[in-house]
Chains A and B, each alone.
Chain A
Amino acid sequence: MSPIEIGLISVIAIVFLIYAGVYIPIALGMVSFVSIWLMRDNFTLALNLLKIAVGDSAMEYSFATIPLFTFMGLIVSKAGLGRDIYEVMTMRFRKVKGGIGMATVGANAVFAAVTGSSIASASVFTKVSVPQMLAQDYNPRFAVGVVAGSSVLGMIIPPSAMLIIYSFVSEQSVGDMFLAGVIPGIMLAIAYVGAIWFMGRYTPNFVGGRVVQDTEWMSGREIASKTLPTLGLITIVLGGIYTGWLTAVEAGATGALVALIIAAFRKSMSARSFWEALLETGHITAAILFLITAASIYSRMLGLAGLPNQLQDILAGNAASFWTVMLVYVLLMLFLGTLLDTASIILIVVPLFLPLVEALDLSLIWFGIITVVGAEIGLLTPPLGISCFVIKSTINDDRISLKDVFMGALPFAFVMLIVLFILIAFPVLSLALI
């Protein structure tokens, strides 16, 4: 069997096992193990690859960003910063058709800059934003759709666990990836706001809602107390990275400490919830990094099979066009996105495409943004869309079915796809800040 065949068969086997419900790291690890064993007819060699990959894949300085930013995000959620930003935003947008929807997007964009996960965004905003929208007669589908759509901002606007994972697979600097995510993230938020305006204008029934007259203005002091903690945290984390004063890892640690101080000041954290946040951080870190370790076994197996070399040779032989490669790439991500979570998609497709992208002499940072945005579309698509699941389980309201959540999220998934193609066509959007 040629390396290409082995690579292809192993990918199919992995996808099959994952869809059958096997734990993703186990599927990646076991298939890679058996592939090497068969390919080289050498059981010891297969064991040795496991040994070296398990030993050194997790041992990476920049991986400390994962527990640190996760911890910061959990503390920030518990301290109620998401709710505060949302309240300030709704005050500004109240009089526009679909205004609360726009406010939700805006608040999500700001909250995204202090949290690294879409799950956190989805659950926080389901609680603060959906009841408000329902109270003002918005269409339930629209209400949950906005929350689902804007939750993906959490993992595109830095800090983001997905940008960290990509930077590991492609050996790019975490700091650079973070900076690259800023403009695309803001762009997506603006595109969402535009789409909401458009829907309010042309499909008012889908949006629903009534315009509220009784606007209560907050005092400047109140606005400050609700926004300054978040803005301060953003300044410290992103400012620290941007100026080079802090490495991404140090920014995570400093951000976590500052978040703790904020939570302590507001007396919004008990010793118990502090400990729970720590435990949770450990669970998330272990799950992500074990997945990364397994994915590294898989990519090393592909390397041992000689797949990267073969792909480069094929590409040198017949120049595949840029758009062909990108189109195949996006389609593959959309397909995997039906059932897989974002991290798994990144870890499966990037090792396959990295040699192609390098051969085409494309920017790996730009490619990372494409990958993260493309893989995150899967958060919104059925049958497995994590953001939609989180919203459904958080909302706990039988009148809104899982199907409603998916239907509501669909327009936003479509907007993401359009933004994705704009990002592909104009790399400068991802690279301007670096």
Chain B
Amino acid sequence: QESVSAVVIDGYPDRALWVKEFSNFFIPQMDSRLEAAGNYKINWQENYGGSIVKPKGVLEGVQLGLGDIGIVTTIFHSSKLPSQGISGSTPFVSSDARAVAKAVDEIAREYPAMQNEFAAQNQVYLATGVVLDTYQVFCSQPVASVADLEGRKIAGAGLNLRYLEGIKDAAGVRGGLTDFYNMLQTGLADCAMLWPEAAVTFKIAEVGPYMLQADLGAVNSKTVTVNADYWAKLPDEVKATLQDVAIEYRDHLAGIAMDRAAAAHAAYTEAGGTIVEVSADDRAAWAGAMPNIAAEWAETLNGNGEQGTEMLAAYLGKLEAAGFVGVRDWTAE
């Protein structure tokens, strides 16, 4: 039996869902398969929670070889990893983490864009992770429909602030997950966009008891990658096992995200929250009033010499095949 060492890095602490599942699912799966084959054994060194890199530093950490394997939070890197914005740029399509994870991952394998972007950062793409089912809008005051969001201050982070461009006079307020409770409580924001599981974790029902079920959609935010120099030296058997387990990790993680999401709805109402359904017309109207950020996304990729337009169509086609049709056709125009 030959020994191989592997340093795994993430800037998030080990209590984060995807980190915990990396320790409790990915690594044991690798170990048991390699042990069954009997040729190799991996000595793991896990460094999470800022002990080597901060959350934003994982991409560079893997690039520079400070970690052999990393869980990159791709939403921090719109500039270096533009293609990773694929699901964030196509809201109102699917709130199923499993379907989105699978579709994004297949796009990564069928089109070179995502792998090229990681290759430019000296790393090899392994798999996509989706850890949330869908963004919803949580408000401190009663809301009956999307129209009630007009003129409000709505907190969000990153790309989802752009969804607000579809709502008249809504002002986006930037904030992180840990800030939303405070922002709603003090009136710094009237509403906040986050996903139900996080809403339960951060006790949002206490300050934002009205959840507008807008089903903005699941978003891919994590990618497992391997340093390219390290990859080149790995035995083929280990490479193949990593690739197989990565796909299982992708589905495992998305499955847990969905289980938690289902439980979160119940926990939210139990904690005093009210869930307000949004009509299909309202969702279509919101989506229709937005700029076509999906087209902007495809345009950016086309400009980089990638097949942006084709990727967009293929991605939405995969989701449609899985039974998810958006309220707006992002490929039109």
Contact = CB atoms under 8 A, between A and B. Distances in A.
Nearest to A51: B64
B158 to A, nearest CB: 15
A48 B53 contact: no
Interface in A157-175: 171, 173
Nearest to B61: A52
Interface stretch (B42-50, B269-277, B300-308): B42-50
Contact of A306 (B13, B45, B183): B45
Interface string A26-62: 0000000000000000001100110110011000000
Interface in B10-66: 13, 45-47, 49-54, 56-57, 60-61, 64-66
A173 B57 contact: no
B182 interface: yes
B45 A244 contact: no
Contacts of A44: 65
B51 A299 contact: yes
A171 B49 contact: yes
Nearest to B181: A244
Contact of A49 (B51, B54, B66, B178): B66
A308 B66 contact: no
Given A52-B64, A244-B183, A309 B46 contact: yes
Contacts of B188: 244-245
A53 B157 CA distance: 25
A56 B54 contact: yes
Contacts, number: 55
Contact of A303 (B51, B64, B178, B186): B51
A308 B45 CA distance: 11
A48 B52 CA distance: 12
A304 interface: yes
Interface residues of B, number: 25
A300 interface: yes
Interface in B167-197: 178-179, 182-183, 185-186, 188
Contacts of B7: 304
A55 B186 CA distance: 35
A300 B178 CA distance: 25
A243 interface: yes
A392 B178 CA distance: 45
A52 B47 contact: no
B182 A304 contact: no
Contacts of A52: 53, 57, 60-61, 64, 66
Contacts of B186: 243-245
A48 B51 contact: no
A302 B185 CA distance: 40
A244 B183 CA distance: 7
Nearest to A57: B54
A304 B47 contact: yes
A45 B227 CA distance: 13
A309 B51 CA distance: 10
B50 A304 contact: no
B64 A48 contact: yes
A244 B182 contact: yes
Given A48-B65, A244-B185, A55 B60 contact: yes
Which one of A247, A299, A304 has the highest number of Cβ atoms from chain B below 10 Å of its Cβ? A304
A247 B57 CA distance: 24
Which one of B45, B54, B56, B188 has the highest number of Cβ atoms from chain A below 10 Å of its Cβ? B54
Given A244-B186, A306-B45, A309-B45, A171 B50 contact: yes
Interface of A: 44-45, 48-49, 51-52, 55-56, 171, 173, 243-245, 247, 299-300, 302-304, 306, 308-309
Given A56-B53, A303-B47, 4 more contacts: A48-B65, A52-B57, A56-B57, A304-B47
14 contacts: A44-B65, A45-B66, A48-B66, A55-B60, A56-B56, A244-B182, A244-B183, A245-B186, A303-B51, A303-B52, A304-B7, A308-B47, A308-B51, A309-B46
Interface of B: 7, 13, 45-47, 49-54, 56-57, 60-61, 64-66, 178-179, 182-183, 185-186, 188
The 6 closest A-B pairs by CB, nearest first: A303-B51, A48-B64, A244-B182, A244-B186, A303-B52, A56-B57
